Amino acid sequence: MTEGSQHITRRKLLQHSASIVALGTAAVILPRVEAEEPGKSVDPMRVPGTLPRPYGERSPFRKESRLGGGGPGAAHGWGANAPNNFNSLTPLQELHGIITPSSLHFERHHNGVPSIDPSRHRLLIHGLVERPLVFTVADVERLPSTSRIAFLECSGNTWDGWREAQDVGVQDTHGLMSTSEWTGVKLSTLLESAGIRREAKWMLAEGSDAAGLDRSVPLTDEVMNEAMICYGQNGEALRPEQGYPLRLLVPGFEGNINVKWLRRLKLGSAPFMTRWETAKYTDLMPDGKAYQFSLVMEAKSVITYPSGQQRIQPGFHEISGLAWSGRGRVKQVEVSVDGGLAWQAARLQEPVLPKCHTRFRLPWRWSGQEAVLQSRCVDETGYIQPTRQALVKVRGTSSLYHYNGIQSWKVDTDGRVRNIYA
Amino acid sequence: MTVTACLLACGLASSARSAEDGAGYGLGRTATEEEIRAWNIDIGPRGDGLPPGQGTVKQGAQVFAAKCAACHGPTGTEGPKDRLVGGQNTLTTPKPIRTIGSYWPYAPTLYDYIHRAMPFDAPQSLSPEEIYSVVAWLLFQNHIIEEHVVIDAQTLPKVQMPNQNGFIPDPRPDVR
């Protein structure tokens, strides 16, 4: 992104004001100068500020951006790589709290983001139901609604963890996850409107993108109680990248099954064995067998400050990070500053919600000596986030998905923070 | 994986829900047979939904060269996109190669995926004959069928894929 390209210069603004005045409008009340811009020194107390505007934007001083990405090992960025990017990563190192701004929510799509007119979009429910039904988006929006804050994580998040450690930051390593408040209709409300037949045990969810992405969802009690068909994200309509106008949300399950641009739900007695749950999104083990329908995202955590590629000064720092579990609430997060020899409990920021990012913090005074920062999540089932060594011992290094090992950030004596395996 | 194992692994709801629950909102309308036919594009692992038509290895070579080779390479091995051919006996090695021949478990879902998503720049543009043909060519290239076999709705479900039994239900938590 080029600096300054989006800024209105003082001269342009003056010209704009002058031209509007010449047209005889009330433009004389326009401020003569834009609010302070990078590189300019205007005393904000001595000039009027900007007027209200229809849709807000962040301060021109803020540059947090998603990072374009491709497959494992591919360099991340937007330049020459851009045509090969199939995902974008959230700048976790720059964010506060647990909610990801919608503009910074990670993306993964399999043949681009479709442009969908909601007035033409339909959701079909058929298969093992009593009455196949077609819903408009407006129909769905009229049904009883619910909201929930939940994380979404691509099952390929941290997939470089299976390989050699790269000298990259937390956006590269862990940026394929985000948290939003989602609003929509319970899946059960829609399916029960159509009448679920007794033999229905699985549901095919299909998107109306150019990949026709489709996944089989098991109709377990957990799914029936928690899954939603969403139209809202952080208080407004879904972003196109997140499935506008309708998406499936199965809290705690891998990102790919949360089908976006949802157009069809088909109930069946067995899984549909789509390409996405056979050739992809299955976890190959050292014995040549692959875990299938490995849907839940297991407990995991990462320190977002200090993190890779940052440089810190000796003295006080508040270690801060995110922890989450697809099986429920985070019970505890422990932090080590010596590579896992000693652990201390971090403070958990409320709210601590099931299947949601939880912010943790721990005050720390860096002496200037080498340190290795780690965090370890324990969820309400008692599951403890494993070390990388324990994970690799069981699963080898070829399973691609569902890496949830403890992340290590080494602080060198010059204050540089590096991604290492410890 | 067997369906039974899958159901057990996933802890499926034991009781079906009443069709009456939630049916009282009066929203949504009954779908017509015609609508369902137009939208119901998935092809199941046993071949449910395969359309009429047929294809041969010879025709498939032409379709592949014209519509697929630019991304997958002239023989399906060169890339730059996903490798489709070869890789058998590599799944237990340090560098496993996942292809149709080495990893893909059900032959009919080749039809499903190629129809819905390929070619990448023009999905759903291939005719049933073109899809059956390119499936035949890919199966032949992977040494799964003989060159003379005609692929259609009857023959495709009978094709046994080498890695059909390569998948197990999710056993996690597996790391202690």
Q: What is the distance in angstroms between the Cα of A93 and the nearest Cα belonging to chain B? A: 28
Rounded Cα gap, residues A391 and A377, in angstroms: 15
> What local confidence, expressed as pLDDT, does residue A421 receive?
95
Q: What is the pTM of this model?
A: 0.90
Q: Do A289 and B168 touch (CB under 8 A)?
A: yes
Residue in chain A nearest B45 by alpha carbon? A273
Q: Which of B4, B12, B50 to mutate to test the interface with A (most CBs of A within 10 A)?
A: B12
Point out the residue among B16, B31, B170 whose CB comes nearest to the CB of A196. B16
Rounded Cα gap, residues A54 and A421, in angstroms: 48
Q: What integer best gives the mean pLDDT of chain A? A: 92
Neighbouring C-beta atoms of residue A114, cutoff 10 Å: 16
Q: Do B169 and A292 touch (CB under 8 A)?
A: yes
Q: Do B17 and A192 touch (CB under 8 A)?
A: yes
Q: Report the DSSP beta bridge partners of residue A203.
A: A217, A267
Under 8 Å between Cβ of A137 and A236: no
> What local confidence, expressed as pLDDT, does residue B39 receive?
97
Rounded Cα gap, residues A91 and A172, in angstroms: 9
> What local confidence, expressed as pLDDT, does residue A139 receive?
97
**Alpha helix locations (H) across A309-406?**
388-395
Residue B103 with chain A: CB contacts under 8 Å? 278-279, 290
Q: What is the distance in angstroms between the Cα of B37 and the nearest Cα belonging to chain A? A: 11
**Alpha helix locations (H) across A247-329?**
none
Residue A288 with chain B: CB contacts under 8 Å? 91-92, 96, 166
Please identify among residues 245-284 of chain A the ones whose CB lies closer than 8 Å to any CB of chain B. Answer: 263-264, 266, 268-275, 278-279, 282, 284
Q: Angle at Cα B96 formed by Cα B87 and Cα B98, nearest 5°?
A: 55
Query: Which DSSP symbol is given to B114?
Result: H
Span A173-196, average pLDDT: 98
- In chain A the domains, ranked by start, together with CATH numbers, are 1-61 (no CATH), 107-291 (3.90.420.10), 300-420 (2.60.40.650)
The architecture of the domain spanning B42-158 is Orthogonal Bundle (1.10)
pLDDT over threshold 50, residue B20: no
Q: Do B11 and A221 touch (CB under 8 A)?
A: yes
Between the alpha carbon of residue B155 and those of residues A10, A342, B46, B62, the distances in Å are 72, 62, 11, 21
Under 8 Å between Cβ of A410 and A417: yes
> What local confidence, expressed as pLDDT, does residue A14 receive?
40
Residue B17 with chain A: CB contacts under 8 Å? 188, 191-192, 196, 224
Span A314-327, average pLDDT: 98
Q: Do B30 and A192 touch (CB under 8 A)?
A: no
Span A193-215, average pLDDT: 98
Tens of pLDDT, residues A144-169: 999 999 999 999 999 999 999 999 99
pLDDT over threshold 50, residue B157: yes
Q: What is the distance in angstroms between the Cα of B77 and the nearest Cα belonging to chain A? A: 16
Per-residue confidence at B24, pLDDT binned at 50, 70, 90?
Answer: confident
pLDDT over threshold 80, residue B21: no
Instruction: Please report the ipTM that was assigned to this predicted complex.
Output: 0.89
pLDDT over threshold 80, residue A26: no
Q: How far is CA A405 from the centre of its chain?
A: 18
CB of A8 within 8 Å of a chain B CB? The answer is: no
Neighbouring C-beta atoms of residue B173, cutoff 10 Å: 15
Residue B72 with chain A: CB contacts under 8 Å? none
The burial class, CB within 10 Å (0-12 / 13-18 / 19+), for A22 is exposed
- Coil, helix or strand at residue A329: coil
Q: Do A133 and B19 touch (CB under 8 A)?
A: no
Residue in chain A nearest B103 by alpha carbon? A279
Helices B57-67/B128-141 angle, 10° precision: 100
pLDDT over threshold 90, residue A280: yes
Rounded Cα gap, residues A214 and A275, in angstroms: 8
Q: Which of B1, B82, B100, B175 to mutate to test the interface with A (most CBs of A within 10 A)?
A: B175
Residue in chain A nearest B47 by alpha carbon? A272
Q: Do B10 and A278 touch (CB under 8 A)?
A: no
Per-residue confidence at B97, pLDDT binned at 50, 70, 90?
Answer: very high
Q: Do A212 and B117 touch (CB under 8 A)?
A: yes
Measured in degrees and rounded to the nearest 5, phi and psi for residue A411 equal -100, 115
Q: Report the DSSP beta bridge partners of residue B9.
A: none
Residue in chain A nearest B101 by alpha carbon? A279
Between the alpha carbon of residue A349 and those of residues A115, A357, A395, the distances in Å are 38, 10, 33
Rounded Cα gap, residues A186 and B21, in angstroms: 13
Under 8 Å between Cβ of A296 and A333: no
pLDDT over threshold 70, residue B111: yes
B98-102, long-range: CB < 8 A, 24+ apart: B98/A279, B98/A284, B99/B142, B100/A279, B100/B138, B100/B139, B100/B142, B101/B141, B101/B142, B101/B143, B101/B144, B101/B162, B102/B162, B102/B163
Please identify among residues 109-128 of chain A the ones whose CB lies closer than 8 Å to any CB of chain B. Answer: 110-111, 124-126
Contacts of B58 (CB under 8 A, 6+ apart): B147
Q: Do A386 and B171 touch (CB under 8 A)?
A: no
Q: How far is CA A111 from the centre of its chain?
A: 19
The burial class, CB within 10 Å (0-12 / 13-18 / 19+), for A38 is exposed
Two structure tokens written together for A154: 């691509």
> What local confidence, expressed as pLDDT, does residue B108 receive?
98
Tens of pLDDT, residues B54-85: 999 999 999 999 999 999 999 999 999 999 99
Residue A197 with chain B: CB contacts under 8 Å? 16, 19
Two structure tokens written together for A123: 């959701």
Rounded Cα gap, residues A377 and A380, in angstroms: 10
Residue B98 with chain A: CB contacts under 8 Å? 279, 284
Residue A112 with chain B: CB contacts under 8 Å? none
Query: Measuring CA to CA, which residue among A194, A189, A216, A192 is closest to residue A205?
Result: A216
> What local confidence, expressed as pLDDT, does residue B23 receive?
55
Q: Do B176 and A275 touch (CB under 8 A)?
A: no
Q: What is the distance in angstroms between the Cα of A309 and the nearest Cα belonging to chain B? A: 30
Q: What is the distance in angstroms between the Cα of B34 and the nearest Cα belonging to chain A? A: 12
Measured in degrees and rounded to the nearest 5, phi and psi for residue A51 equal -85, 165
Span A200-221, average pLDDT: 98
Point out the residue among A192, A293, A294 whose CB comes nearest to the CB of B21. A192
Q: Which of B138, B174, B176 to mutate to test the interface with A (most CBs of A within 10 A)?
A: B174
A-B Cβ pairs (cutoff 8 Å, strict): 193
Tens of pLDDT, residues A40-66: 678 999 999 999 999 999 999 999 999
Domain ranges of chain B: 42-158
Rounded Cα gap, residues A400 and A145, in angstroms: 36
Query: Measuring CA to CA, which residue among A291, A220, A394 is closest to residue B170?
Result: A291
Q: Report the DSSP beta bridge partners of residue A85.
A: none
Q: What is the distance in angstroms between the Cα of B86 and the nearest Cα belonging to chain A? A: 14
Under 8 Å between Cβ of A259 and A200: no
Between the alpha carbon of residue A74 and those of residues A70, A413, B167, the distances in Å are 6, 30, 28
